[in-house]
Structures are given as C-alpha cells and as structure tokens.
Amino acid sequence: MSVFENSVPVAWRQNEVVALSPDEAYTAFADTDRFSRLRGDGLLTLEDINLDSGEVVRQVVDGGGAEYIEEPFEWEKGRHFSVVRRHTKGILKGYTWAVDFHPADEGCELRFAADFYPRFGWARPLLWLVVRFVISREVRHIVDQVRARIGTHRQGAFKLPAPSAESGLANEGRLQRARDQLVALNMPASVVDSMLHLIREETDLDLMHIKPVAMAQERGFDEEQTIKTFLHATRHGYLELRWSLICPVCRGSKEEADDLSRLKSEAHCSSCNVSFDGDFDSSVQLTFRPVAALRPIEAGYYCVGGPMRTPHVVAQTNIEPGEEASLSGDLITGMNAPQLRVASSGQLVALDQLGTFELTASSLERIGDSDAIVLINRTDHQRKLSLEEGEPPTDVLTAARVIAMRTFRDLFSDQILAPDAVVSLQPMAFLFTDLKGSTAMYEADGDATSFSKVKAHFDILLSEIEGHHGALIKTIGDAIMASFDDPADAMRCAISMQRRVHAESDLVLKLGLHYGRAMAVTLNDRLDYFGATVNRAARLEGQSSGGDVVCSRTVYDDPDVSHVLKSAGLKLAYESLQVKGVEQAMDVVRVEVVTT
C-alpha cells in the first residue's frame, strides 16, 4: 500500500475452515474487539485526529505500548475486512491485516493475511519468528475455540467466546439471589435467566451497554416484559441505568450519565466529526450494566474500528484522490433504505438503484449505469465512503419510550429532566378520564363513602392501563391522565374502562382520547407532558357525556383503531365540536360504549 512504498513485507497467510456460513463467520470474526481480547491484547488509549481534509484517523497506544495511526477499516459484509496501521516508532513501519470469508464444502474458509513492514533490516528475522510461532498459533487457538463452541451454540447470532478471564468474574451467589427476587416479582423466568446469562458470560465491552430490546428481539421475548425485568433488576440494586447520547452517523455512545438530569443536551462525535442534539425519539437511549458487586467491568476497548462496531454499515471503503472503488451490487439485497455516506462531509445519497457515483468537494451524485456500486473520488483527498442502512435501529430503548412506561415512572420517579429542559417526544396517545357528577356524589353520600368508590374506580382504571401497555402520568382529583405508544391500545383500554366501571360500580365515567406529539418537562420534581396534543385530549374528555369515548379523527383514522371499533360493534357518532382553547372546530368520533 502507498504508506509502505519501497518496503518488502514479512508476509503471513493462514487458512482455516469452520462449520459456519460465511455470514455467520463474518459476524463472529469481524467483532475485532472480541478477537483482540481472545488474543490477550491490552486496553487501548485512543485519540481521534481531524485531518485538514476533514477525515478522521485514530492515534492509538495499545496494551503493549506500541503507538500507531489506524486508518479506517474497510469491509464488505460477509466477505472481507481489512485495516492499515502505521506505527510511529519501534521496529515496525506498520502492517496490514485482512480476513476473507469464502464458502467451503464444510462451511466457511477463513483466509487470514497480514503483511508486516520492518523499519530496520535486522528486524526481519525477528518478525518472521513472531509471525511463524506466535501469531499463527494465536489465530489457530481462537479458531479451535470457535469450533468447540459451534456444537453448543443454540440461539442468536454466533459470537466468538468471551475470554475466560472476563466471563469468570460474576458473583454466583448474588446472581442466584437476583434470580430468586426477580422471579418472586413475577418477572418471566426465561427473561431473567437470559439476562443473568449475559452478565455471567459476555465480555466487559458487551456489558457496558446491555440493550434489553435487542435481547428480546434476538430471543423472541415480549419487549415490554423484558424492559420491566431490567428496570426491576436496577431498582433492586443489580443493574445500573446508563443514559447515552447516540451519534446519528456511527450510532456509538458519545455522552453518558447515570441520571437523566445530568445528560447533556448536545454532543460531538470526534470519530465522525459531527455535532448533534439529544432527540429523545432517536438520539437518547437507555442501556444497562451490572453493578460491580455482581460483575466487575473494566471499561475500555481492545479494538475500536472493526466492522461490528457499526453493524448498520454494510460496506466501507477508502478511496484515494482521482481513483475509483467498486462495491458488489448484491450487497443492497435485503437492506432497509440503503444509502451512501461520505464520512468527512456528511454528504448522503439514497441508493435507489445501482450505478456509478461521482464524489466532488460539493456533491455526491449518480452519473451513470452499472451492475455494481462504482465510486469515483474527484476530490483532492482520500475519502471514506460507507454503504449503510438508512432506517433507524429498532433494537434500542429510546428515552421517549421508557419514560412513557408506568413501570419506569413508578420505580424511578427521581429520574427527571435537567432544569428548564423541554423535550419533544414521539407521537403518543393521551387518555383523560373524569367522573360525571362527582361533586353531587360527595354531597349526597359523604366523603368516606365517596372516597371508597373513587378509590375502587382508580383500581379499575390502573389495572386497565397496565393491561393495555399504557402508563399512568398523574391523577388530578377524580381524574387521571395516561399515555400509550399505540392508539389502538388506548382505544381498547378506554372501552374496557367504560365497561368495567359500569359493571362494577354506579359511577359514570367520561373519557377523551387524542394522538400526536407532546413535550416532556419536569414539574414538581416529576416528569410531565404538555402541549397541544395533551390539551386537546383533556378538552375532548370535557365533551364526553359519560359512558362514551370521545376521540379525535386522528385516533379514529388509524387503521388498527378502526379495526378495534369495528370488531367491538359499537355505535359511532361523527361530530364537529368547538372546544375551548382550539380555534377551529375539531372533527371527533363519539363511541357509545355503555348506556348511562
């Protein structure tokens, strides 16, 4: 390569076959941090360096004291990856490392290749001995561990095993106590066991940010139950909350805090050279890590630039000025919203079709047809281009989602936003209730009897909210405010509330329902919601006659809500109402549930 011109390398090649598909083998061996841990490498000290061109390279000091500049990895998912490291001192000028994955009769053939460039002629025999008797043996030992693990692997993506020095650190007595307590709280035993298995067996790096939604999706668990299990484990002292600001480009954690109020509202990713705000819908996520008494963790990286650090990036290549590179056209098969990105400039183009793309200082444009993805660099600098999934990840627990959960609000009422922070949330359904004629009831029946009735009605409402995946936001006298991610869940809950209150008491319930975006804010040391959506939901409750549900057309027009109402066979009335605080009349649907 150009950085090692006029140098003759000490070359090393080694082929190994494992009983995995190329995609499975790639997922395992492209996890270069895990591979480095198994080799026994040490923790890295890292510094991102911004070049005049806008590109970013890493200056690294490894566990053995070697210092080098690491260029961005290059890869094509399921096929190969490689990296160039230029040493700044020592006997090496630098080296290249690459692994290719090829189909074989027995599974996948791994083709390891490395070229080591000595700085001094006398170092060549020494490098040859290291390559022949150390590196070759280390790689074969890791491959042998993989072969042994294949026979016992049962579920999820195949991974390289964690080093025994890390996986043997869990406190077994405390793990058993955690299991007993969580199962006693009616947390699903399968979820609890999977969570504790992660803590027992995974690497320190994997345990720095455990994602409950990702675990649920991988193992087929109910997502809500899995999140609740992690929240209860945290409240009982076995896990810690980790709030993170996630870079929208590399999707790595750039700012962290254990308390929501201390999380910064913006961050800069030095690796991608971009700044971004903390959007609760996408950029702020909640992960978990075990407390030190359960499993001590050494935070840090053994390798930070490998392909599996950014699994949404399907291919990445570095292109010299005036040169072109080609990516296989079939890489986009099965991708969600594929797109090409230039790392240094943020230039982005949706990949609707294959072709030849030209990169200039100001644009990235398709200029011709091709059966591959051909990239031409017309700038004066090396550029890193990435082929990536454009759709946001579905396996993260966003702040917007978790703070809307009743379990979170009940267990972590002390987790509040920073003072004066106002956060826009994803669209949600808001349900308001109130009792019709409650003032007259208190006058006629007295405080004690009336309060007993109100409390019993609250028990009904709360059980229905929880049973329909909702969250209680607050009570306001005899009324409640609740939120739901899914408007269909909100409608099912509202119908069930009316039926149960009518069947189990002599109270008359009024209900209003609206769907849209809201703002989150801290009031009286608790999270609360406000905004036009919340106001309209409250006003619609005021239009309820009792025994009915008054919902906006926004709610009614949702296909799942329409299906719920059609299946219920309830009488519907379409109205246009003028509600207080809203300038234009609102189109609403009155759902007659019970006769009062």
Statement: residue 3 has pLDDT above 70: no
Q: In which band, very low, low, confident or very high, does the pLDDT at 425 lie, cut at 50, 70 and 90? A: low
Mean pLDDT taken over the chain: 90
Of 39-53, 158-172, 301-315, 569-583, the range with the highest mean pLDDT is 301-315
Q: In which band, very low, low, confident or very high, does the pLDDT at 107 lie, cut at 50, 70 and 90? A: very high
Distance CA 348, CA 327 (A): 17
Q: In which band, very low, low, confident or very high, does the pLDDT at 2 lie, cut at 50, 70 and 90? A: very low
Supply angle C-alpha 566, 570, 575, rounded to 5.
95
Between residues 544 and 267, the one the model is more confident about = 544
Please answer whether residues 90 and 67 qualify as being in contact, where contact means their C-beta atoms are separated by less than 8 angstroms: yes
Residue in the structure block whose two tokens are 């009831």: 441
Residue 100 has what pLDDT? 98
Percent of the chain with pLDDT over 70: 95
Contacts of 361 (CB under 8 A, 6+ apart): 378, 379, 380
pLDDT tens figures, 323-361? 999 999 999 998 989 999 997 777 889 998 999 999 998
Q: In which band, very low, low, confident or very high, does the pLDDT at 220 lie, cut at 50, 70 and 90? A: very high
Distance CA 77, CA 344 (A): 22
Supply angle C-alpha 5, 8, 11, rounded to 5.
120
Statement: residue 505 has pLDDT above 90: yes
Distance CA 439, CA 458 (A): 17
Statement: residue 168 has pLDDT above 80: no
What are 147's two structure tokens? 């072969």
Contacts of 367 (CB under 8 A, 6+ apart): 355, 356, 357, 358, 376
Residue 417 has what pLDDT? 63
Task: Please name every residue paired with 339 in a beta bridge, in sequence order, or none if there are none.
Answer: 350, 388
Percent of the chain with pLDDT over 90: 65
Note the pTM of the prediction, 2 decimals.
0.79
Q: Once rounded to an integer, what is the mean pLDDT over residues 156-180? A: 87
- Helices and strands: H and E segment counts in the chain: 18, 31
Q: In which band, very low, low, confident or very high, does the pLDDT at 1 lie, cut at 50, 70 and 90? A: very low
